[in-house]
Each structure stands twice: as structure tokens, then as C-alpha cells.
A and B are shown apart, each in its own frame.
Chain A
Amino acid sequence: MSKTLTLNGQMISAREGESILDAAHDAGVSIPTLCHMNGVGDVGACRMCLVELAGSGKLVPACTTKISEGMEVNSDTPQLHEYRRMLVELIFSERNHVCAVCVANGNCELQDLAIYVGMDHVRYDYLYPAESIDVSHPMFGMDHNRCILCTRCVRTCDEIEGAHVWDITARGIKSHTITGLAEPWGEVNTCTNCGKCVMACPTGAIFKLGATVAEMEKDREKLAFLKNARERREWV
């Protein structure tokens, strides 16, 4: 059944059970996202897609909030723009995001987002944590300096590949993505070398070995394609 809701003052239609994000996308309204990726489940962690619900004024993530009849949603307020910019600044301050020497330079969702929100400088202190790089895998590498903990690799590996090589350890600012039981990636024998996590990573954190600055292009839609094809049994 279809429902009608208001998005930024415009009436739009949406399918029942759909998320605000999907409905907005169908209506041609772009809402910035970071931890969302087509093909894997949403967790509402990056808070980039927060939208305002009229009435309560509450901010809810568009990716995990289902639409309802008569809902009034605002994704385009000065307040939200300011929050999004602050969130991007916080992410930049957290790890060592040095675009000039990053494999994903020019192909990075975080970089695109910084431009989108108009981040010309970071107001907060850079934390400059000492991070490691894991290149023990024969084909891929993991650079924790660039990781934004969006857990897209975790969900991709778990939900699409079914291997669950990736996970998160520790908590708060000490959170880290790990492979296997916090072993070097190359020693994890559950890894199928499929490379889906490389495609899923929004930044230059997970990359193909041998890629140098600005060479790491990613094909994210392929993951959604794989998942849809499997669900619709297009290969059977």
C-alpha cells in the first residue's frame, strides 16, 4: 500500500514499510549518508541522515525510520546543515584523514561529504591517534588511519558474504575494526578473499594492495546488485 507524506514542504508518495531515506531518494531529494549502503542493513550510526519530524521537532535517522501516513519530514533546515557539518568535522578530527596521500583521494565518500557540507576547516582539535596499517593479507590492506567505524565492511561481510570476518572491538573512541579474533587479516582463515569489504568501504581504509594515491576506485553498487540478484534468484 502506498502512503503520502510531506518532505520539505512537498507532498510525496511512498511505499508502506519504506524508510524515509528510500522515499526521499525516490522523490529525488538527496539526504547525505555515510554508514548507509544499498544492499546491507542500516544501523543509524553516522547520524548524517538525521531529519526533523514536524510536531515533535525530534531528529531521527532517515535510514532506519519508517514512513507513516501524513508524516511531515524536513531534511533541509539550517540547524541540520550545521549539525551535519559538525559531525563531518568530528569524524575528520578523530583519525588521520590526510587526503593528499590517501589511496581514495577523489573517490572518497567522506571527502565528498566534506565538500557537500561546506567544511573548509575543522574547528576541533585533531586527535592524531597512533594507528596501524595491516597489510598481512595477500590482496588487500587495512589502514586504520582512515577508518570511520561506519561498520559497512562488518555488515557486508556478515550479510552478503556470510563470512563475518570483520567486527568491532573495544568501545567509545577506542573502538576499532578487527578481522577474525583480532588477528592480522592475512591469518584469518575465514576470509574468502572476495573483496566485498574493499568495495563497501567509504574511505581509503580498506584498499587493494598496490593501489597508490587516488587510485582506489570503488564499485559500491555492485554489492547491492549482488544482493538483489541473489534475492531474486537471477542466476538460478
Chain B
Amino acid sequence: MMQDEVATLLEKTASTERMAQSRYSQHIQVCMGTACMALNSEQVKTALEHAVIENGIQKQCQVQRVGCPGLCSLGPMLRVIDKTITSEANEPRETLYQQITPKVAPAIITSLTPAAQPTSALDVHRCEVADTFFKRQVKVVLEHCSHIDPERIEDYIAHGGYRAIQSVLTKWTPQRVIDSITKAGLRGRGGAGYPTGLKWATVAKANSSNGKKYVICNGDEGDPGAYMDRSVMEGDPHRVIEGMMIAAYAIGASQGYVYVRAESPLATKRLRVAIRQAQRAGLLGNNIAGSAFHFDIELRLGAGAFVCGEETALIASIEGGRGQPRPRPPYPAESGLWGCPTLINNVETFANIAPIIDKGWEWYAGIGTAKSKGTKVFALTGQVKTSGLIEVPMGITLREIVFDIAGGIPNNRQFKAVQTGGPSGGCIPEKFLDMPVDYESLAKVGSIMGSGGMIVMDDSTNMIEVARFFMEFCMDESCGKCVPCRVGTVQLHRLLGKFVDKTATPADLIKLEGLCKLVKHTSLCGLGQAAPNPVISTLNYFREEYEQCLKPSP
């Protein structure tokens, strides 16, 4: 395929798709993310399709499958775009409906027919919180997520997809790509926040003994309650593929792997479909866009070990070995998959690449704070009125997230703490609510950005039980290789159990602190090193709760 042929292909696909879409005056977009599908959205979609035919409006009304719009606690969600009714700004009317059942679905269709009578049946399903929920959000990673059909490459291309890789391949040098990513200030979204451009530059410069380099997309998302990456893979898989392609071009790799958990069957399926479609379209494979660039992607399914999110363990798992980390250095950038230089980034990091190339690094660097650029996707759960998936600019305060976006704490309860970073993060008390959310600020108060789990707790929460819950998680997920993590987490869990049972002695408190220090400083990998964080942060901010649980002296 010649270079201009790809441009033509993209243009042709896009215009055909747009034409096909413009034939319809009404679109009904049903969320087919895991959360909504668990709430029956597939039957809702079928009911809608039947109702469309029954009402004879199949020529004007299209029922579409889309990714997650974010309001997961109110699912199944659907959006009606009615081009026959426009606002003052000439925008088609968009209505968001929540908690739609297959029974209610036909009423939505009848309301769209020309002979529709005004009805109040749908009023309870109209999404009231949408305005406040979406107002503070800035969608970069999730920009297409609830607007395109994730299983159709045409829809992605019609929304400007694969334009970035096309221009990179035809006009950009690898160095310019790396420079753009560096200047954009993008940092790894897996949790540690390592500068992405620097990582790419390191792998690009690394020498490979056999000339091979690899790109790995880390989709082994395992924090309890976190599903950002899964939603991206489910809602916009082509975006991830495009990011990987650009990375591969920049560092000189010809093979990529997406490591995704077998527990995310929908994400796996959509990625598989997307990879196949991209291969068929000539966007993956040999001589992409008539250039000398070859790149292909394979899926690797993880068996659900949390530790496989650690890069060296993930690489061991792809190689077919036991998912266990090894000491670094050497870092994967130098010696990774099969001993070759390997670039390993998180799903969300890759999903940020195409817009940076497309809209320019200046645009991206304009979002966020001085040291943390861009946006971050969070899975907001726990004691909030509206939980779900949000994307906010870096630097937004925790208060804005908890009270403005999520609507605050339900049941007239008081806010107590917010836990970020999952089992590797810490609990942040109320006094830090006005702190901006960025890598440095979160680290300063003893938590981490993490991959994006955010659990809000109200005043009925027992912080020791929270710490014990996360310790139990780390204990179960420890790979067992190094002593402090394998045995230390078990002993920490037992000690925390004593506090929960109120049988702990002052000596146990000293032991607890000592063990936290040991496990943090001597464990082999990030899992062990971060395992005591929930305990350390709760000891820091809620020490009186631990002291209240000491056994009364006889």
C-alpha cells in the first residue's frame, strides 16, 4: 500500500461511514460496557431494535452499541441523539437516560416517533445528575468512549482515528515523535508517573543484540474497584492500538503485545476484534502505509495475578514463565522481553498518544499542573452519591471530585477519607481535600496516584478494617518470591486482625510499625514495597483508632 493510499483509505472509510450515519436522524447509543451489560443492557438494546422495527422507524432511527459513558452506578445508560430537534446553537438534542430496562425501552422508541404523545413514563429515567457529573470533566482518553461503536473500525476512523499514525508515518521522524511526547509532559498512567517521553527515548537508544525491540501494553489492571483500563479497552480499543503503533514507530519495534486479564472477557474480545480489523485494513502488518515500518500486535491473556501488573513479572508471564518479578536493574528498557529492549506502558498512557500527536503537544501541556500534565481517569467508588468512571484534568482538587462530580456523601453521612492507588496507595483524610490531584501532591500525603482507583469512605468506616482489607489483598496476591512480602504481609494481616478484635497490646503497635517499615524497604518489587502504604497512612492520620483498639490493661 502506498502512502497516499492509506490517506485515501482513511478518508474514504470516514466519508462512507459519515454518510451512512447521516442517513439517520435519530441515534440511540446504548452503553455496552461491562457494568451496563451486567445490568442487562444487551437485552435493552435488543428490545430497542425490536421496537424500532415495530414502529417502522428503522430508516430514521439507529440503535448503536457504544462504550462506557461513566455513570456506571446508574446503568444501563443510553443516549438519544435527535437531529430533528435542534437547540439554539443548532446542536442536535441529546438526552441521557438511566436505569433502562428492556420493559421501558419501547417507550423510548415511541417517544421518537412522529406521532409521539408527551408522556411522563420516561421522566424517572431521565438522567438528572448528568450536568453536574460531566461539567468538571475533560475527556481526552475517554473522548470517543461513549460515542463510537468499539467493534467497528469505520466508526473510529470516522471520528478521526488512525489519522495520527498516518501523519507520523508519512511526515514525522521517530525523534520528533519522542520529542513531542516529552514536551507534552505525559507521565506513565500505571501509577508511578515515570515520564513517558524519557522512557521512549531510553528504549529508542537501547541496543538490541538481535535487532528486536518490543512494545507491551500493560492491561493487567487489578486494583480492587478499579476499571479505568478495562473501560478504555472496551470502549475504544483502536485508540490503544494506535498509541502502540506510534510508540513502536518511535522506538523501532516491530512486535507488540497487549497483556490483558482473562477476567475481562469483553475487553479481550473487543481488542481481538480491533486487532483483526486493523490487520485487515492494512494498518497492522508489514510495510504499513507503504513505509518500511512493520508492526503487529498479539494478545496475551493473564490468569489474574495482581503481581503480573509489575513489569518484570508481566514480561515473565508473556514469556510463558511463572509470573514473578525479578530485581531491577536491568530495566526492561534495556533487557526486557526475551532479553530485548522493551517499552512497557499502561493502557491509559497509550490512549493518550494519538491526541497528543493529533492536536499537538502544546495543547496537551496546557492541561493540568506544572509537573503533571493532561488528564487522569479515575474509577470513583465507595460512599458517594454517583459513582462511576470520570476523567478529570490533573490539578483538580479532591473536594471537587468527591462533592461536585460525585455529588458528595449519601445518607447524610460525613466524609472521612478517600483512598487512592488501591492496595499500594493510602487513605487521605479530610484536611487534604483541597489538595490538587497530581503525582507529587498525592505522594506528599503518603498516597499515590496509582492507576486510578478512588474509594470514598464515610464516617461509618473503620479505618483498621480498611487497612486489613488491603493487606489481605496483598497477602493473597504476593507471588511468594521474597521473604518480607510473602511472610511479612501475613504477619501484618494477623497483627491488624488483633486490632480489629481489640486484643492488640501496645507491643503489637510497635511490631506493626516495625514490620511496615521492613516490608516497605526490603521487598523485591513494587507490590511488596507498597503493601504497607494503607497501614502507614491510616496510622498517620487515624492513629487514635488504632489506640482505641488496644486491649484494656488488666
Q: What are the residues of chain A within 8 A of B483 when measuring CB–CB? A: 45-47, 87, 90-91
Q: Given the complex of chains A and B, what is the CA–CA distance between A60 and B523 in angstroms?
A: 10
Q: What are the residues of chain B within 8 A of A44 when measuring CB–CB? A: 326-327, 482, 524
Interface residue A174 (Cβ < 8 Å from any Cβ of B): yes
Q: Are B511 and A124 in contact (CB under 8 A)?
A: yes
Interface residue A175 (Cβ < 8 Å from any Cβ of B): yes
Q: What are the residues of chain B within 8 A of A175 when measuring CB–CB? A: 479-480, 486
**Which residues of chain A (32-69) have a CB below 8 Å from chain B?**
43-47, 50, 59-61, 64-66
Interface residue A139 (Cβ < 8 Å from any Cβ of B): no
- Cβ proximity bits A140-179 to B, threshold 8 Å, 1 near / 0 not: 0000000001000000000000000001101111110000
Q: Given the complex of chains A and B, what is the CA–CA distance between A167 and B481 in angstroms?
A: 12
Q: Give B518's nearest chain A residue, CB to CB.
A: A86
* Shortest Cβ distance from residue B110 to the other chain A in the assembled complex, whole angstroms: 55
- Cβ proximity bits B471-507 to A, threshold 8 Å, 1 near / 0 not: 0000111111111101111110010000000000000
Say yes or no: A45-B490 contact (C-beta < 8 A), given A59-B522, A123-B511.
Answer: no
Q: Are A47 and B522 in contact (CB under 8 A)?
A: yes
| Residue among B479, B487, B490, B523 making CB contact with A171, cutoff 8 Å | B479
Q: What are the residues of chain B within 8 A of A168 when measuring CB–CB? A: 322, 480
Q: Given the complex of chains A and B, what is the CA–CA distance between A17 and B515 in angstroms?
A: 34
Q: Are B327 and A61 in contact (CB under 8 A)?
A: yes
Interface residue B176 (Cβ < 8 Å from any Cβ of A): no
Interface residue A94 (Cβ < 8 Å from any Cβ of B): yes
Q: Give B330's nearest chain A residue, CB to CB.
A: A66
Q: Are A86 and B514 in contact (CB under 8 A)?
A: yes
Q: Are A94 and B494 in contact (CB under 8 A)?
A: no
Q: What are the residues of chain B within 8 A of A127 when measuring CB–CB? A: 490
Q: Are A172 and B327 in contact (CB under 8 A)?
A: no
* Shortest Cβ distance from residue B399 to the other chain A in the assembled complex, whole angstroms: 35
Q: Are B481 and A43 in contact (CB under 8 A)?
A: yes
Interface residue A93 (Cβ < 8 Å from any Cβ of B): yes
Most buried by A among B322, B487, B494, B523: B487
| Residue among B322, B326, B477, B491 making CB contact with A172, cutoff 8 Å | B477
Most buried by A among B483, B491, B494: B483
Q: Are B487 and A83 in contact (CB under 8 A)?
A: no
Q: Are B479 and A125 in contact (CB under 8 A)?
A: no
Query: How many residues on chain A are close to B (CB under 8 Å)?
Result: 32
Interface residue B521 (Cβ < 8 Å from any Cβ of A): yes
Q: Are A46 and B479 in contact (CB under 8 A)?
A: no
Q: Given the complex of chains A and B, what is the CA–CA distance between A65 and B330 in angstroms?
A: 9
Q: What are the residues of chain B within 8 A of A83 when measuring CB–CB? A: 518, 521-522
**Which residues of chain A (63-79) have a CB below 8 Å from chain B?**
64-66
| Residue among A61, A172, A174 making CB contact with B489, cutoff 8 Å | A172
Q: Given the complex of chains A and B, what is the CA–CA distance between A127 and B479 in angstroms?
A: 18
Q: Are A47 and B478 in contact (CB under 8 A)?
A: no
Q: Are B491 and A125 in contact (CB under 8 A)?
A: yes
| Residue among A45, A61, A167, A172 making CB contact with B478, cutoff 8 Å | A172
Q: Are B482 and A124 in contact (CB under 8 A)?
A: no
Say yes or no: A172-B522 contact (C-beta < 8 A), given A44-B327, A90-B491.
Answer: no
Q: Give B517's nearest chain A residue, CB to CB.
A: A83
Q: Given the complex of chains A and B, what is the CA–CA distance between A46 and B490 in angstroms?
A: 16
Interface residue B437 (Cβ < 8 Å from any Cβ of A): no
Q: Are B475 and A172 in contact (CB under 8 A)?
A: yes
* Shortest Cβ distance from residue B356 to the other chain A in the assembled complex, whole angstroms: 32
- Cβ proximity bits B446-487 to A, threshold 8 Å, 1 near / 0 not: 000000000000000000000000000001111111111011
* Shortest Cβ distance from residue A36 to the other chain B in the assembled complex, whole angstroms: 12
Q: What are the residues of chain B within 8 A of A170 when measuring CB–CB? A: 480
Q: Are B327 and A64 in contact (CB under 8 A)?
A: yes
Tell me the dominant secondary structure on chain B's binding face.
helix
Q: What are the residues of chain B within 8 A of A173 when measuring CB–CB? A: 475, 478, 480, 486-487, 489-490
Q: Are B494 and A125 in contact (CB under 8 A)?
A: yes
- Cβ proximity bits B408-447 to A, threshold 8 Å, 1 near / 0 not: 0000000000000000000000000000000000000000
Q: Given the complex of chains A and B, what is the CA–CA distance between A118 and B208 in angstroms?
A: 47
Interface residue B228 (Cβ < 8 Å from any Cβ of A): no
Q: Are B487 and A91 in contact (CB under 8 A)?
A: yes
Q: What are the residues of chain A within 8 A of B475 when measuring CB–CB? A: 172-173
Q: What are the residues of chain A within 8 A of B482 when measuring CB–CB? A: 44-47
Q: What are the residues of chain B within 8 A of A47 when measuring CB–CB? A: 482-484, 522-524
Q: Are A50 and B480 in contact (CB under 8 A)?
A: no
Q: What are the residues of chain A within 8 A of B523 when measuring CB–CB? A: 47
Q: Given the complex of chains A and B, what is the CA–CA distance between A170 and B400 in angstroms?
A: 43
* Shortest Cβ distance from residue A66 to the other chain B in the assembled complex, whole angstroms: 8
Q: Given the complex of chains A and B, what is the CA–CA distance between A125 and B483 in angstroms?
A: 15
* Shortest Cβ distance from residue B526 to the other chain A in the assembled complex, whole angstroms: 14
Interface residue B305 (Cβ < 8 Å from any Cβ of A): yes
* Shortest Cβ distance from residue B372 to the other chain A in the assembled complex, whole angstroms: 23
* Shortest Cβ distance from residue B92 to the other chain A in the assembled complex, whole angstroms: 53
Q: What are the residues of chain B within 8 A of A64 when measuring CB–CB? A: 327
* Shortest Cβ distance from residue B502 to the other chain A in the assembled complex, whole angstroms: 17
| Residue among A46, A50, A93 making CB contact with B491, cutoff 8 Å | A93
Q: Given the complex of chains A and B, what is the CA–CA distance between A172 and B524 in angstroms?
A: 13
Q: Give B305's nearest chain A residue, CB to CB.
A: A171
Q: Are B486 and A149 in contact (CB under 8 A)?
A: yes
Q: Are A174 and B524 in contact (CB under 8 A)?
A: no
Q: Given the complex of chains A and B, what is the CA–CA distance between A65 and B524 in angstroms?
A: 13
Q: What are the residues of chain B within 8 A of A90 when measuring CB–CB? A: 483-484, 487-488, 491
Q: What are the residues of chain B within 8 A of A65 when measuring CB–CB? A: 327, 329
Q: What are the residues of chain B within 8 A of A61 when measuring CB–CB? A: 327, 524
* Shortest Cβ distance from residue A55 to the other chain B in the assembled complex, whole angstroms: 15
* Shortest Cβ distance from residue A154 to the other chain B in the assembled complex, whole angstroms: 10
Q: Given the complex of chains A and B, what is the CA–CA distance between A168 and B478 in angstroms?
A: 14
Q: Give A58's nearest chain B residue, CB to CB.
A: B521
- Cβ proximity bits B305-319 to A, threshold 8 Å, 1 near / 0 not: 101000000000000
**Which residues of chain B (335-380) have a CB below 8 Å from chain A?**
none
Q: Given the complex of chains A and B, what is the CA–CA distance between A50 and B518 in angstroms?
A: 12
Q: What are the residues of chain A within 8 A of B515 when measuring CB–CB? A: 86, 124
Q: Given the complex of chains A and B, what is the CA–CA distance between A171 and B486 in angstroms?
A: 9
* Shortest Cβ distance from residue B237 to the other chain A in the assembled complex, whole angstroms: 30
* Shortest Cβ distance from residue A107 to the other chain B in the assembled complex, whole angstroms: 22
* Shortest Cβ distance from residue A11 to the other chain B in the assembled complex, whole angstroms: 24
Q: What are the residues of chain A within 8 A of B524 when measuring CB–CB? A: 44-45, 47, 61
Q: Give B477's nearest chain A residue, CB to CB.
A: A172
Known A123-B511, A172-B477; further 16 A-B contacts with Cβ < 8 A: A44-B326, A46-B482, A59-B522, A87-B484, A87-B522, A90-B487, A90-B488, A90-B491, A124-B511, A168-B480, A170-B480, A171-B479, A171-B480, A172-B486, A173-B478, A173-B480
10 cross-chain pairs, A with B, having the tightest CB-CB distances, nearest first = A175-B480, A172-B478, A90-B487, A44-B327, A64-B327, A47-B522, A124-B491, A94-B487, A172-B480, A45-B481
A-B contact pairs, 14 of them (CB 8 A): A44-B327, A45-B483, A47-B524, A83-B518, A86-B515, A86-B518, A87-B483, A87-B518, A87-B522, A91-B487, A94-B487, A171-B479, A173-B478, A175-B479
